[in-house]
């Protein structure tokens, strides 16, 4: 529920902000297609970082009808482009289809695994093993760790949450939301206090997302913040963190905005998808609806560089309104 709420709220906020500033020039220049893609990301409603899942079909009721339908056309175009490319590489597995051309056409229209044929009643070997491979990649992303190299390259030191190992991480989301006592001490010693923006990276449910996509996202975000003249705190890495660990970080370092780049729960389409969560003054008791998320950051979704640049603008807006999430919407009205 919470995740969905955050995404819905973000969508709402983005719509509002877009309306509010039409006519203004963005600091970061983007092409039309880039803008489309980025909206695809902010709108897509199912890239979870995998805390409690909502039932498959419950919708948050905050969002108004009109804001959803406004967002839709943009979503569709962008997503369609991506999916068609994927589909083009699929080979049909049906030996004698009634209509070969139509089969190719159908397969282009969806990323679903159709047109795959059968071995008796079972899937053919290729289709079965490619499915198993995609699941394997997702599992390895969950249980993998982020290499020292990446952290070193980005000059991120590492702290841990109250979670001891991956299994505990999976079972106890509550512990992943809290920093260890040592982590708190380390942050107090090594980090700038009360910065405008605190950037944090965490593996979350996909170490692969960090390996593959944090570098570009982070560097673009840094560049964007520098260009906008926004002061940054000392960035660091939180091992086995959950989204709400930003509240603990907020208590310790008291930044105005926290940007958390965290690995999403892997899907079969991508095991490398990254989310960026943003919150104005996260502290204990911050409700989920105060957070915002840009999800689906990976090469097949929102390209990391564009996501990073875009995040800089979102931070600027949060600072301008001194609010995020639903509060931002309220201030707007």
Partner 1 sequence: MLQGQTYEFKNLKELFAKANEEKSGDRLAGLAAETVQERIAAKQVLAGLTLEDIRNHPLLPPEEDEVSRIIEEHVNDTIFADIKGWTVAKLREYILDDSVGDRELKRLSRGLTSEMIAAAGKLMSNLDLIHAANKVEIISRCNIAIGQKGTLASRLQPNHPTDNVDGMLASMKEGLSYGVGDAVIGINPVDDSVESVKRLLHATHDFIEAWNIPTQNCVLAHVTTQMKAIEQGAPAAMIFQSIAGTEAANRSFGISVSLLEEAQQMIMEKGTSRGPQRLYFETGQGSELSAEAHHGIDQMTLEARNYGFARKFDPYILNTVVGFIGPEYLYDNKQVIRAGLEDHFMGKMHGISMGVDICYTNHIRADQNDIEELGVLLTAAGVNFIIAAPMGDDCMLNYQSMSYHDIATLRQTLERKPAPKFAAWLEYMGITEDGRLTERAGDPTIFSE
Please enumerate, by residue number, every residue annotated as part of a binding site. Answer: 243, 264
| 173 Cβ contact partners less than 8 Å away, ≥ 6 residues apart | 51, 52, 242
Q: List the one residue from 171, 182, 188, 226 that touches partner 1 (CB under 8 A).
A: 171
160 is a contact residue toward partner 1 (CB under 8 A): no
Q: List the one residue from 30, 111, 222, 332 that touches partner 1 (CB under 8 A).
A: 111
165 is a contact residue toward partner 1 (CB under 8 A): no
51 is a contact residue toward partner 1 (CB under 8 A): yes
Q: Which stretch binds partner 1 (CB under 8 A): 16-24, 61-69, 185-193, 209-217?
A: 61-69
What does R_g of the chain's alpha carbons equal in angstroms?
A: 21
Q: List the one residue from 18, 83, 184, 281 that touches partner 1 (CB under 8 A).
A: 83
173 is a contact residue toward partner 1 (CB under 8 A): yes
Q: List the one residue from 22, 25, 29, 69 that touches partner 1 (CB under 8 A).
A: 69
Q: What angle (nearest 5°) sits at the alpha carbon of residue 264, between those of residues 304 and 326?
A: 85
203-230: b or e for each residue (b if 16 or more CB lie within 10 Å)? bbbbbbbbbbbbbbbbebbbebbeeeeb
Nearer to partner 1, 27 or 109 (CB): 109
110-125: b or e for each residue (b if 16 or more CB lie within 10 Å)? ebeeebbeeeeeebbe
Instruction: Judge contact between 179 and 161, C-beta under 8 A.
Output: yes
Instruction: Judge contact between 88 and 108, C-beta under 8 A.
Output: yes
Q: Which stretch binds partner 1 (CB under 8 A): 18-26, 146-154, 195-203, 260-268?
A: 260-268
Q: Which stretch binds partner 1 (CB under 8 A): 193-201, 249-257, 266-274, 309-317?
A: 266-274
97 is a contact residue toward partner 1 (CB under 8 A): yes
47 is a contact residue toward partner 1 (CB under 8 A): yes
175 is a contact residue toward partner 1 (CB under 8 A): no
Restricting to residues 281-300, which ones interact with partner 1 according to CB under 8 A? none
Q: List the one residue from 20, 33, 76, 322 that touches partner 1 (CB under 8 A).
A: 76
Residue 260 CB, nearest approach to partner 1 (Å): 18
Q: Which of 64, 207, 49, 237 is nearest to 137 (CA)?
A: 207
Paired strand residues for 198:
258
Angle (deg, nearest 10), helices 32-43 and 304-321: 70
Burial of 192 (0-12, 13-18, 19+ CB in 10 A): middle
């Amino acid at each position: 529920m919470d995740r969905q709420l955050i995404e819905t709220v973000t969508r709402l906020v983005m719509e509002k902000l877009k309306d509010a500033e039409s006519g203004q020039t963005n600091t970061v220049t983007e092409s039309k297609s880039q803008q489309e893609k980025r909206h695809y990301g902010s709108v897509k409603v199912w890239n979870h970082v995998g805390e409690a899942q909502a039932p498959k079909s419950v919708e948050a009721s905050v969002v108004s009808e009109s804001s959803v339908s406004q967002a839709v056309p943009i979503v569709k175009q962008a997503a369609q482009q991506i999916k068609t490319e994927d589909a083009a590489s699929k080979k049909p597995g049906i030996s004698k289809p009634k209509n070969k051309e139509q089969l190719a056409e159908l397969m282009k229209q969806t990323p679903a695994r159709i047109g795959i044929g059968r071995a008796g009643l079972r899937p053919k070997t290729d289709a079965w093993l490619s499915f198993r491979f995609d699941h394997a990649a997702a599992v390895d992303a969950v249980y993998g760790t982020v290499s020292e190299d990446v952290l070193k390259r980005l000059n991120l030191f590492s702290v841990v949450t109250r979670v001891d190992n991956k299994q505990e991480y999976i079972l106890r989301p509550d512990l992943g939301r809290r920093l260890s006592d040592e982590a708190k001490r380390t942050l107090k010693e090594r980090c700038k206090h009360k910065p405008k923006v605190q950037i944090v990276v965490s593996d979350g449910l996909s170490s692969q997302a960090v390996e593959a996509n944090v570098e570009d996202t982070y560097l673009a975000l840094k560049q964007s913040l520098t260009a906008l003249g926004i002061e940054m705190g000392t960035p660091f890495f939180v091992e086995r963190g959950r989204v709400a660990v930003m509240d603990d970080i907020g208590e310790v370092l008291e930044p105005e905005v926290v940007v958390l780049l965290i690995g999403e729960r892997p899907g079969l389409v991508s095991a490398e998808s990254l989310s960026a969560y943003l919150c104005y003054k996260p502290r204990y008791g911050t409700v989920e609806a105060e957070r915002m998320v840009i999800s689906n950051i990976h090469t097949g979704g929102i390209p990391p560089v564009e996501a990073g640049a875009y995040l800089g603008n979102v931070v600027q807006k949060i600072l301008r309104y001194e609010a995020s999430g639903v509060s931002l919407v309220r201030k707007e009205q």
